[in-house]
Amino acid sequence: MRALDKHLTIVSEAEKSALYGLPDWDDFPRAEYFALTAEELALAQQRDGLPGKITCILQIGYFKAKQAFFSFRLADIPGEDIAFVMGCR
């Protein structure tokens, strides 16, 4: 907390990001969370277009990791996650 700040800071920006932001992981957790069951794969395949399928798979993996859904644009997603989902790793 800064000396002149009149508001109490309980959680830092880094802690907020860790709690509420998209997962930040390397290849091991990425492989674990983006491993789809047959039902999850069928759900993703029902989406229209490649961006819809990718978004669905990302939401599934991120939900497994954080038990939360996220609002995002594909442009805001780490390239490593998209490449992994597309099998381009």
Residue 37 has a pLDDT of 95
Angle at which helices 49-66 and 79-86 cross, to 10°: 110
Residue 22 has a pLDDT of 86
Consecutive 10-residue runs of the chain (89 residues): their mean pLDDT? 66 82 87 94 96 95 93 90 83
Helices (H), the chain: 13-20, 27-33, 38-45, 49-66, 79-86
Q: What is the pTM of this model?
A: 0.80
